[in-house]
Amino acid sequence: MGATTLELFFVDGDPEGVLTAQVFNWTGHVLSAPRLNLISALKREEASYTGAYVLVGERDGVDIAYVGQGENIAERIRSHDAKKDWWERVVWITTSSNSLNKAHAQYLEARLVQLAKAGGRFALDNGNAPSIPSIGEAASANMEAFLDQLLPVLRAIRIDVFADSKREAQATRANDLPEFELTLKKEGIKARALIQGNEFVVQKGSAARREWIGDRKEQTHYWKLHDKLVESGVIELNGSIRVFTENYAFSSTSAAGAVVTGRSTAGPIAWKVADTGMTYKEWEASELVRD
């Protein structure tokens, strides 16, 4: 998906409330609503359309999601409202002309479950993964194109269930940007990272502290991210430390630093340009002056 325009409409004037998202020249229509606004959201015409939907929330300190589909999304959401108490926001995915059929919705559901499992950012409340229906070569290609447009829209409205933080092993520097290092000499820990787009990618083979030693009551919740990467095998036990088994993209230098050090870390200061000792903060400041 190249450069494009995303149109957000805040239905009640509140960015945290009910909103719709559409992209120019794309038939898809996304509506996001907090559970507190569910009654008014379900009164909207598109709530009765055929499509897929996502429930997101938290349970026992873990981000969790559920992906479903239906020929009348409102009916499915009402059922979940009665049976599931953990979710806080619903997002449903339809088209502006209600052109999706049941097979299309089932295809979206199956592919979104696949992507959520691959991304590993959220635990899934789904049971068995649904199989992808046989809808023909042309229809499959159309639905994949639909997904290509949909995923950036979901990221834009902060639905990160399907974002994959794992990166290919052959990740390289972009635009001559430097490599950064974070070192804990006493613990024998050294991590390397690169800037790729708007992400800070810690490289495969980087070391991290064996356990989280910081405060688990802190509001940043980086300890949850640390635990999730341990559970998923992204940082694997290797003697007295852990090692990144693959490249992994973080949203900030501080998130990456916290996972490496096992505690809250001021990333802009902790990460340093390899071979120079200049902090990320100092490097960024010098780049801003030069530009």
- Positive or negative, the CA dihedral 121, 109, 144, 136 is positive
Strands 123-124 and 62-70: parallel
- Say what the pLDDT of residue 169 is: 44
DSSP state of 71: S
- Say what the pLDDT of residue 1 is: 58
Regions of the chain where pLDDT drops below 70? 1-2, 61, 164-175, 219-220, 290-291
DSSP track, 130-190? PPPP---HHHHHHHHHHHHHHHHHHHHTT--TT---EE-TT---STTPPPEEEEETTTTEE
Task: Tell me, yes or no, if the pTM score tops 0.85.
Answer: no
> Which distant-in-sequence residues (6+ apart) come within 8 Å of 173 by Cβ?
179, 194
| Integer Cα distance of 99 and 97 in angstroms | 5
CB atoms within 10 A of CB 11: 16
| Integer Cα distance of 178 and 176 in angstroms | 6
Instruction: Choose among 273, 257, 276: nearest CA to 265.
Output: 257
Strands (E), 36-133: 51-59, 62-70, 87-95, 123-124
